[in-house]
A and B are shown apart, each in its own frame.
Chain A
Amino acid sequence: MIFKTISKKDFNKFLEILIENNNFFAPQKIAKDKNKKPIYDLREIKNIGDIDFNYDIIKYPPRRFFLPYREVISSFKIENNTWEQNIGYETKVPRVLLGLHPCDINSLNKLDKVLLLGDYPSPYYAIRRKNTFIIGMDCEPKPFCFCRSVGTHTVQHGCDLFLIEIGDSYFMEIFSNIAFDFLKKVKTKDTTKADDDEYKRIRKLKTEKFSAKVDVTDLTKILDMEFQSDVWKEWGDRCLGCGSCARVCPTCYCYGIEEKIDLKFQNAGKLKILHACTLVDFAEVAGGFNFRPEKHIRLKYRYYHKHRGFVEAYEESLCVGCGRCGQACLAGITVPEVISSIRE
């Protein structure tokens, strides 16, 4: 690992270079909630002054830059009885995402395991992942964050650069060659003993701040034992089947495909839409048969995929503890509460 420090002034110069040559997305204030608390999300930025470094969390996960909610994965030009297929992998201007927190960077690492390193790599995902430069930033745990419980509160890889604020400078972890080369354009400094100590102090302080927790000890086994538990029914009674949880989750990747035909019957396309396992029509197949007609079972399988199936396959959970699903759920269904109710 290469560590450097950079003054905020020099870092801004670095960002200016990136803004000029890339599609650049960074946190911005997008609304205020009913208590006047600002809400932030990633937006395309043209000027450095438009970046809001005071953001707390990014409202919608960065998954959308790699795995869009909907995309045409293949289009067809139809003439009489023949057709010509067209597959366009997106290769636009390179993209920079600034401000991803450790949970979100780790969410991409988890998606990589399935979509990049799995048996059926997705070229659509791969090209966007390769084409995106990611600058991560450290964060303060919010009351709903439980990344520490699932080991995603630190970053081992998955971004190009990771920043921790120390006074008027940033402590930088340089993860990629590209980042290392880019940084030659601005002034950086080698870290000192004092910087290292400050890094350790800040990181220690952070780990002490987590309030939300999930006990994952033996969780795969406990979930097996509690498969028939009535507790699932209680949560199911509350669930609205709205899919908001999966829509805001940085790691959900289930999808459905629809055929779209234009009204002239000359062009068609396969439209891929990210789905949600809590929806009533998630497991419905041709002929109207539904493999998961019951709400509590659908909700249960959301937990089993994240905290059991994925763990058995990859030795880690598919949940990064960002807490977004619980925040978005009007019914107040949160991961820490569900898991602890199952353990009891």
Chain B
Amino acid sequence: MQYLGVDLVKPKAAFFDFSSCEGCQLQIANNESNLLDFISLMEVINFREILTGGKDDYEIAFIEGSITRDDEINRVKNIREKTKILVAFGTCACFGGINKLKNKFNDIEWVKKEVYGNYPVETNDKVLAIDEVVKVDFYIYGCPVNKPEVEAIVQSIALGREFRYLKHPVCFRCKEKQNICLYELGKICMGPLTRAGCGARCPSNGNSCIGCRGPAAEPNIEFMKKIMKKNGFTERQIRDKFELFSAFKWEK
């Protein structure tokens, strides 16, 4: 296929899930109105959720989830060796995500018991983001990823163009939607620090942004903490928001 006389690139793509809820992969199958067009931008050769079997000669690998077991470490290293481009797909892959909350506790046995009771589970002491194990070429943020953004990214690959992430915070888009700022309503919000690109999904529905897309390019973290405090939020409340997805560093 061509666009204005230029041949489109159709990469062989594979999707892999690691420790995650698989919600990001599910987003791929979302938006049925253009699903077939979207899928045809790539030659999908490995995708457990929509394909049986699967081949290994992929050029681009989308990795969902974080790394919590030794076999996952080996598996992701193996994928890295095979693929040309490795994409961290979704917040767990990019930052560790909710899974990484575990790293805050010293006693892993207590964590296991608290979460799984007596059910036997195999899990490492520390959760790792993908780039803590292998080199990542591209990040797609979001819990879950934002399908229109994924479409734009994949399309830019097809066109051989650079995809340029928005670098500014969520507030810019939130104001465009003419929302009433949650701080005016007495709620806390991570929008001023979080990278835009989700269409200000949460504040537009009356919920605080919880920072799922991670920090904007130049977040003014220290001053925003002060603003949060001035608005009456406790250190604990602020810290909960910062640490939920392990995307923001907390230390002073």
Contact = CB atoms under 8 A, between A and B. Distances in A.
Interface of A: 30-31, 33-34, 39, 41, 59-60, 64, 69-70, 78, 80-81, 83, 237-244, 247-248, 261-265, 274, 276, 279-281, 284, 295, 328, 330-331
B166 A34 contact: no
Interface residues of B, number: 39
16 contacts: A33-B180, A41-B178, A59-B180, A70-B176, A240-B193, A240-B220, A243-B172, A262-B34, A262-B37, A263-B151, A276-B168, A279-B172, A280-B216, A281-B168, A295-B220, A331-B227
B172 A276 contact: yes
B169 A241 contact: yes
A211 to B, nearest CB: 21
Contact of A83 (B1, B4, B184, B185): B4
A60 B178 contact: yes
B19 interface: no
B94 to A, nearest CB: 20
Contacts of B212: none
Contact of B3 (A39, A59, A78, A248): A78
A120 B59 CA distance: 48
Interface in B148-183: 151, 155, 159, 164, 166-169, 171-172, 175-176, 178, 180-181, 183
Nearest to A274: B176
Given A261-B155, A265-B1, A265-B8, A328 B167 contact: no
Contact of A242 (B37, B166, B171, B186): B171
Interface string B174-207: 0110101101111000011100000000000000
A289 to B, nearest CB: 13
Contact of A279 (B167, B185, B193): B167
Interface string B106-138: 000000000000000000000000000000000
Interface of B: 1-5, 8, 34, 37-38, 41, 151, 155, 159, 164, 166-169, 171-172, 175-176, 178, 180-181, 183-186, 191-193, 216-218, 220, 223-224, 227
